[in-house]
Structure formats: C-alpha cells, structure tokens
Amino acid sequence: MSYSGRNKFEIARFSGEDENHINRKLPKELLLRILSYLDVVSLCRCAQVSKLWNILALDGSNWQRIDLFDFQRDVEGPVIENISRRCGGFLRQLSLRGCESIADGSMKTLAQSCPNIEDLNLNKCKKLTDQTCQALGRRCSKLQRINLDSCPSITDISLKALSDGCPLLTHVNVSWCQSITDNGVEALARGCPKLKSFICRGCKNVNDKAVSSLATHCPDLEALNVQGCDNLTDESICKLGGAMRRLCVSGCSRLTDGALAALAARCPNLATLELAQCTQLTDAGFQALARNCRMLERMDLEECVLITDTTLVHLSMGCPRLEKLTLSHCELITDYGIKQLSMSPCAAEHLTVLGLDNCPLVTDGALEHLTSCHNLQLIELYDCQMVTRNAIRKLRLETSHESLRKALDFLHDVHYILGVVTSHFIEAGHSLTRQHSRMSDKRTEQEFILKT
C-alpha cells in the first residue's frame, strides 16, 4: 500500500505523539490496508479519531472507489473538486448518480486531477453538457465505463470526444439523451472497437445505421439495449454478431419475424431477449428462435399480441434454461400453452418468474398445471378475469417457496378487493337503473295526466 510523500512525513511526525495501543503495535502500512476496506462514511468517522488516523483515513489510496449516491442531495461542485484533488491518480471508480447539482466545472477538475479513472457513473447529473465529455476525452484515456443516462444536454459531440480520447471504453449508457443520433454512435463504434455494452433507451434518433455501425466495428458487443428506438428495422438486427448475449428491442414495433430468424442464425448464445410491444412478431419467428437459441434464460414478450400457444410449445421444447418469461397482454395464450410450458424441462428446474397479467383466456386450469414448477417464485395474474380466488388459494397451499406464497397472498387479497368493489359498482348500477326507471314511469304518468 503506497501513499504520498507528504503523508509519509506527517505519519512519521504524529506516530510518536499518538499513544494509542493499536497505532504502536501495527505498522502504518497495515493500518492503511485495513482502512482501505471501509466505505466513505466509515473513513470520515475514522478521520476524526486522531491526527494519525486522519492522515491515514484521508489518504488518496483509500479512495479508489467512491459512491456518493446516498449523499446526492448534499453533493455540490466544491465537494467533487476537493475529492478529485485528494484522490488524484488513485481514483478508479466514481458514482455521482443522482447528484443533480454537479456541473461541467467540477467535472473538468475531476478529469484533470484523476487521469486514471476507469468507471464513471453520471446518471441523472442533468446539468452536465458536452464539455464534461470533452474534458474526459482529453485527460482520461483509461476510461472503460461511463453512464450518462438521463443527461439531456449530451449530444453527438460527447460521443465523438469519447471515441477520440477513450479507446478502451467497453460500457456506454446514453439512455434518454435524445440528441444522440446515428452520427455519434457511428463515431463511438469506430473509435472504441472494444465496446461490449451499449445502452440507448429512449434515443429516438438512433436508427439502423447506428446499430449497423456497432455490429460492424464492435465484434465483442454482447449487450445492446435500444428500447423505444422505433425507427429500427430488421435490416440492422440481422447484422448483430455471435457475441450478443443480452438484447432489448422493446418498443421497436417495425421488427418482424425476419429479425427473429436472423437472431436464431447469428446469435446462438442469447441469454436475455426483451421484445415487449413488438406487435408484428408471430409464432413462426419464435419457432426459428427456439430451434437455435437454447441458452435463453429471460424473455419479455409483453404485448406480442399475435403469438399463441404455439410459441409456448416451441419455447418449451427449445429453451430448457428459461428462468423468467413475461406474457402480459398476450391475449391469445390459453391454459393449453401454460400446460405445455409446465411440462417442459425449464419448468421443473429453472422457471422462477411467469407474467400472465391481462391474459383473458387463462383460467384456473393454468394454475393447476403450474404446481409442477417447483422453483416458481413469482407469478403475475392481474386482470385475469377467469382465474378465481379458490385456484390462487390452492396453488398457495401446494407451493414450498415463501416468496411465491407471499405473491399469491397478495393476489388473493387483490381478487377479494376487486370482487367487493365490483359488486358495489354492480349494486350501485342496479340502484341507479331502478331509480331512473321510477323517474321515467313518473314522467310518463305526469304526461298522461296532462294530456287527459
């Protein structure tokens, strides 16, 4: 464990003055190593014990990884500038997630003082602009991970600066930076060929050209999240390579079965696939997917409204590792599909989460089949009108997982409350109908008398 020359002088000066037993028995290097395992709050407390501990606790070598999320409301520019100067070249990882008061000036000081930083989380630092990324590009060539999620002023200029100065980048998140376009993504892909993860949720201007650039220039890309990028088509998805393991294209409503067929052929190692609101996908696409992507563990098919029980048959036979499956609002799914799923290898060994809310054709029979899913921990059945409280109660009694029991208890209570509310509404409706009928009869009688 190393420390600065200034600290060496101060440690030697105060060691003789401090009579504390532990300080006299343990080498200062060992004390420094012990303190290096503490979090920010504990280090600050230790700094108040004695003059020697103050020097050791505030030594830059103990501040290599800092997460200030718990202090986000209190952290302002001067705090970051002081930390940057104290940590210097020791700082490797810094999270400023939620620190909305931080501005470009403080980040420029950070870039200048901490050139060895590798992981930087700036999620929801909403005052930051392209100037921050330009400073990082000039000074922080070792940067590997950067999170700019919900920094609305970030544009293609930032991605260009990072591509020029940070060639080691492996993980980039620019979600909800809605000024990002295909030009910025292409520059990043060309300058950072080691990129493994790219997340741009809600970036409406990201299109096929952007994704194609990532597929072409970043052969190690294993995670891509383009949720809500509704300009994407099969053209770019068909270019993704064999390293891809986690793909989210939820909300990309232009995708068709052609994209699924291409993923089946080119991405056999897919483990996570999110396809919510991809309304053009059909059973045929999932048949191709299940035939080749046998490593799938998590799938989100919410609002894939064209799929039927046939898709569940294919997944049951072809995806033995499936752990989490969401079928919410898949209105053509019936008990037969759930039966096929429950008889599959994944159901007995791996399936832990199953989302079936707003599946109107699912009945009590589906819950009877699910008793064979021994590892099931969560099931969602909201607004499944054909599922009764008795079936929920029966499944609860037969399961051994405490988490599933709690979820079923909650569902049981919800069904009860909805039943009571519904009955009150029905009774109120009947009452209004009777009242309206009496009023109509009275008006008819009055009109008859007047005419007479």
What is the full DSSP assignment across 167-193? TT--EEE-TT-TT--HHHHHHHHHH-T
Of 70-74, 247-251, 282-286, the least confident: 70-74
Q: How far apart are CA 203 and CA 398, in angstroms?
A: 46
Task: Tell me, yes or no, whether 203 and 130 share the same domain.
Answer: yes
Task: Tell me, yes or no, whether 96 and 165 share the same domain.
Answer: yes
Tell me which of 305 and 345 has the higher pLDDT.
Answer: 305
pLDDT band at 29 (very low <50, low <70, confident <90, very high): confident
Structural domain includes residue 4:
no
Structural domain includes residue 293:
no
Q: Which of 191, 208, 231 is the last residue of a domain?
A: 231
Task: Tell me, yes or no, whether 155 and 55 share the same domain.
Answer: no
Structural domain includes residue 392:
no
Q: What is the mean pLDDT of the chain?
A: 88
Structural domain includes residue 72:
yes
Task: Tell me, yes or no, whether 165 and 89 share the same domain.
Answer: yes
Task: Tell me, yes or no, whether 115 and 211 share the same domain.
Answer: yes
Mean pLDDT of 282-293: 97
Total domains, the chain: 2
Please check whether residue 379 is in contact with residue 404, taking contact to mean a CB–CB distance below 8 angstroms. yes
Q: Is the per-residue pLDDT at 37 higher than 80?
A: yes
Q: Which of 211, 231, 251 is the last residue of a domain?
A: 231
Task: Tell me, yes or no, whether 124 and 78 share the same domain.
Answer: yes
Q: How far apart are CA 326 and CA 196, in angstroms?
A: 26
Q: Kindly report the backbone phi and psi dihedral angles of residue 119, in degrees, each rounded to the nearest multiple of 5, phi listed first.
A: -135, 120
What is the full DSSP assignment across 415-437? HHHHHHHHHHHHHHHHHHHHHHH
Q: Which of 13, 32, 62 is the last residue of a domain?
A: 62
Task: Tell me, yes or no, whether 72 and 221 share the same domain.
Answer: yes
Task: Tell me, yes or no, whether 118 and 158 share the same domain.
Answer: yes
Is the alpha carbon torsion for 17, 22, 25, 28 positive or negative?
negative
Instruction: Tell me the whole-structure pTM to 2 decimals.
Output: 0.84
Residue 446 parent element (H or E): helix 402-451
Structural domain includes residue 219:
yes
Q: How far apart are CA 231 and CA 248, in angstroms?
A: 14
Domain that holds residue 35: 23-62
H/E/C letters for each residue in 103-146? CHHHHHHHHHHCCCCCEEECCCCCCCCHHHHHHHHHHCCCCCEE
Mean pLDDT of 189-205: 98
Q: Is the per-residue pLDDT at 316 higher than 80?
A: yes
CATH of the domain at 40: 1.20.1280
Q: Is the per-residue pLDDT at 427 higher than 80?
A: no
Structural domain includes residue 193:
yes
pLDDT band at 401 (very low <50, low <70, confident <90, very high): low
CATH of the domain at 167: 3.80.10.10
Task: Tell me, yes or no, whether 57 and 206 share the same domain.
Answer: no
Task: Tell me, yes or no, whether 45 and 69 share the same domain.
Answer: no
Q: What is the pLDDT of residue 422?
A: 47
Mean pLDDT of 94-103: 95
Q: What is the pLDDT of residue 81?
A: 94
Task: Tell me, yes or no, whether 45 and 88 share the same domain.
Answer: no
What amino acid is encoded at 62 in this protein?
N
pLDDT band at 420 (very low <50, low <70, confident <90, very high): very low
Give pLDDT tens digits for 223-269: 999 999 999 999 999 999 999 999 999 999 999 999 999 999 999 99
Nearest one of 187, 159, 189, 163 to 174, comparing CA atoms: 159
Q: What is the pLDDT of residue 426?
A: 47
Task: Tell me, yes or no, whether 152 and 49 share the same domain.
Answer: no
Give pLDDT tens digits for 355-389: 999 999 999 999 999 988 888 999 999 899 999 98
Structural domain includes residue 78:
yes
Q: What is the pLDDT of residue 421?
A: 45
Please check whether residue 133 is in contact with residue 162, taking contact to mean a CB–CB distance below 8 angstroms. yes
Tell me which of 404 and 317 has the higher pLDDT.
Answer: 317
Structural domain includes residue 437:
no
